[in-house]
Structure 1
Amino acid sequence: MKVAIFLRDLGLGGVERCAVLVGEGLAALGFEVTLVLLGGSRNLWQSRIKLVKVVDLSGQWQPLKPWTWLSGWRAARNIVREHDVVIAGTFLLPLYMAYAASMGLGKRVIGWVHGPFFELDAFARMNRVHRAACQFVYRRLKELVFVSNHARNSMARWLEMPPRDTWAVLPNFVDEQQVTPQLVEREMGLALRLLFVGRIAEEKQPHLWLDTLVALNIKGVSAQLTIVGDGPLEAELKKQVQERGLLAQVEFAGRRDNVGDYLAQADVLLLTSNFEGCPLVVLEAMPMGVLIASTNAGGVYELFGERRSDFVVEAATAEALASLIVTQQAQRMKLQNFLIKRADQYSQAHSLQQWSALLRPPSVSQNA
């Protein structure tokens, strides 16, 4: 079976990582997988791509040059003809092209939804034209795949319609190539090592990182914060670090592709987002036994099951996060063991079997 996943490009974002991991996993199971780049030729995943095919159409299709639209559409349509299933890896350009290039061909088209659209649109206020276009396409796609139940319910709210039976939930999974260190008892008296991984942007609420450090200081808890990532608020955040006298407690590591090395050195992962679908960094932290202190950012709470209150605060405040972090230290080993066992439910093998069952109709699976 041939599967094409439409993307903008292959940057270091979570969507791109999901596409590479799922694509490579499906290829190992016998699928022929093609990643189709529409918005740029960037490929930062070459070291992880062994089995999937990458096709760059960004030279033929350029959204700001209308005279390229026809040739780009034809190129995408030729790819659709050659594949059994087309997956729109994200919204906007990949969604539009997957839908437009498949019209009239009778191909199976699936929309892959990584985030909670109702919350995302409420926060970012999507352009009215794009909002209408995305809603138009999503309403007409029979099949959607969501990374969390929260994202599924959020889409239903955004489209003002009940969830369909053909809307599946397939969470992200733990990368098998991730090396997990052996748990050791933490030495007393050492500063807590806090870590944030992601974009330094408004939706991540970076003010909470510094406020949480200050709240821990007030509680007499020594802590260090490492920030892995970059973004539009980086300069402003560095300025605040200096003004608040936190230079000795904060390290800006910049954008990195070796996130696992930083997780291996961390005690607590901070997740302070306004909204999330199924955050990959949490799935990376769980098998390492890294504690998580998170805001109630939608789909993240599903990862912890019945132990939600041990990792998620209901009020997005520094005091709540600091109190949670302090409470966690009293039962560190217990919580670490829970996270490691919980990570088994998000294994790569289990998730890929779900993907395989979704993509292969029962008749195909029985005849294979």
Structure 2
Amino acid sequence: MRLLFVVRDLGLGGVERCVVLVGSWLAARGFKVTVAMLGGSRNLWGARTATLEIVDLSGAWHPKKPWTWFAGWCALRGLAQRHDAVIAATFLMPLYLTWAATRGLGRRVLGWVHGPLAEVDARAHMNPLHRRACQYIYRRLPELVFVSAHARDSLARWLGHESGVVGQGVAQRWQVIPNFVEPQPARPAGPVRDPLRLLFVGRVAEEKQPALWLDALMALDRLGHAATLTVVGDGPLLPWLQEEAVRRGLQEHLIIAGRQDDIGAWLADADWLLLTSLFEGCPLVVLEAMRAGLPVVSTRAGGVYELFAEREADFVTGHASGEAIAALIVAQAPHHAEHAAWLRWRADAYSPDALGARWLHLLENTR
């Protein structure tokens, strides 16, 4: 089977990583996988994409240059004609151009929804034209794949389905296949350390609520627990974070590691992973922590709670505050080893082979 993913580019974002992971897994099982890049020529995945055909269309098409739109449409349509199925890997431009370029071709077209769009729109205040265009296309795409039930229900609310409930006919075309990550080296067993070692991995931006990280450090100190926080990543609020840490007298407790391509060593050296996002679909970093056996403390950030099933209360705070995060860390501490073992066991449900089999079933069986 020939499969085409449409993306902006292949940077280090979560969507791009998912495309590489799923695409390379399918390629290893005989699929001919192509990735079309619309917004840029970056491919930061190197050998990971060696089994994929990477096509850079950014030189032929630019969203802010209307005179290039027809050329971009023709280029993507030509690619789509060579493939059996086309997946718009994210919303906005990949969604728009996939929809336009596949009209009348008779190809199978799927949309891949990674985030809870009702929450994303509420926070980011999407341009009304983009909102209407995305809603129009998502209502008409034959099939949608979601990374979590939360993302599915969020789209249902965003599209105006009453109470976020979808009808039976729609539900049959809307499939949930969570993200997966590669195996991680198991974190060394042992007691939590003094000071406690907290870890954040991701983009230092408003939607990650970095003020909560410093609030948690201060709350832990008030509870008699010294702690350090290592931040692996960069982003627009990184300078603010460093300045705010100095203002609060926490500069000795904050370690900035910058962006890292391989976070395995950082997971192995931490005692807890923090996730404090305003919204998430199916966060890859939490899956990586689970596979490594690193306990997690998270706010109720969208689909993250689904990863913990009936044990949500062990890993997710009741509300988003430094005090709540610190209290959950202190409550977890006596059960640290047991939580680590359970997370490793739970992560088996999110292995590449378990979830890749669901992608195979989806793609090999038309509805």
What TM-score range do you get, normalising by the shorter chain?
over 0.9
State how far apart, in whole Å, the 2-side matches of 1:198 and 1:231 are.
8
1:321 and 2:325 are equivalent in the alignment: yes
State how far apart, in whole Å, the 1-side matches of 2:47 and 2:251 are.
35
Cα drift, residue 47 of structure 1:
2.6
Q: What does residue 106 of structure 1 align with?
A: 106
Equivalences for residues 86-235 of structure 1 within 5 A: 86-161=86-161, 162-163=165-166, 164=170, 165-176=172-183, 178=184, 180-181=185-186, 183-186=188-191, 190-235=194-239
State how far apart, in whole Å, the 2-side matches of 1:9 and 1:169 are.
24
Relative distance call for 1:302 and 1:251 in structure 2 (3 A) is same
Equivalences for residues 64-75 of structure 1 within 5 A: 64-75=64-75
State how far apart, in whole Å, the 1-side matches of 2:302 and 2:38 are.
29
- For the aligned residues, what is the CA RMSD? 1.2
Cα drift, residue 236 of structure 1:
1.1
Q: Which runs of 4+ in 1 moved over 3 A?
A: none
* Helix, strand or coil at the partner of 2:10: coil
1:77 is aligned with what amino acid?
Answer: R
Identity of aligned residues (%): 56
State how far apart, in whole Å, the 2-side matches of 1:358 and 1:197 are.
31
Contact 1:286-1:343 within 8 A present in 2 as well:
yes
Cα drift, residue 50 of structure 1:
2.3
1:315 is aligned with what amino acid?
Answer: H
1:270 and 2:270 are equivalent in the alignment: no
Unaligned runs of 5+ in 1: 364-368
Match for 2:309 among 302, 305, 320?
305
Residues matched between the structures, number: 360
State how far apart, in whole Å, the 2-side matches of 1:87 and 1:330 are.
45
State how far apart, in whole Å, the 2-side matches of 1:183 and 1:45 are.
28
Contact 1:174-1:343 within 8 A present in 2 as well:
no
State how far apart, in whole Å, the 2-side matches of 1:76 and 1:314 are.
46
Relative distance call for 1:95 and 1:294 in structure 2 (3 A) is same
TM-score normalised per structure 1: 0.96
Cα drift, residue 174 of structure 1:
2.6
State how far apart, in whole Å, the 2-side matches of 1:224 and 1:237 are.
14
1:45 and 2:49 are equivalent in the alignment: no
Q: What does residue 8 of structure 1 align with?
A: 8
Contact 2:180-2:287 within 8 A present in 1 as well:
yes
Contact 2:200-2:230 within 8 A present in 1 as well:
yes
* Helix, strand or coil at the partner of 1:110: strand
Q: What does residue 358 of structure 1 align with?
A: 362
Contact 2:308-2:315 within 8 A present in 1 as well:
yes
1:218 is aligned with what amino acid?
Answer: R
Unaligned runs of 5+ in 2: none
State how far apart, in whole Å, the 1-side matches of 2:16 and 2:265 are.
20
Q: Deviations over 1:93-127 (max 9, x none)?
A: 10001100000111111000000011111111101
Relative distance call for 1:274 and 1:187 in structure 2 (3 A) is closer
2:54 is aligned with what amino acid?
Answer: V
* Helix, strand or coil at the partner of 1:313: coil
Cα drift, residue 235 of structure 1:
1.1
1:216 is aligned with what amino acid?
Answer: L
Q: Deviations over 1:116-172 (max 9, x none)?
A: 011111111101110011001101102000000000000000001243221000000
State how far apart, in whole Å, the 2-side matches of 1:96 and 1:65 are.
15
Q: What does residue 338 of structure 2 align with?
A: 334
State how far apart, in whole Å, the 1-side matches of 2:139 and 2:366 are.
25
Cα drift, residue 288 of structure 1:
1.0
Cα drift, residue 362 of structure 1:
6.7
Cα drift, residue 182 of structure 1:
5.0
Contact 2:187-2:294 within 8 A present in 1 as well:
no
Match for 2:255 among 251, 255, 272?
251
Relative distance call for 1:17 and 1:187 in structure 2 (3 A) is closer
Contact 2:270-2:294 within 8 A present in 1 as well:
yes
Cα drift, residue 184 of structure 1:
1.4
2:49 is aligned with what amino acid?
Answer: I
Instruction: Give the stretch that moved more between structures: 318-327 or 251-260.
Output: 251-260
Contact 2:188-2:268 within 8 A present in 1 as well:
no
* Helix, strand or coil at the partner of 1:269: strand
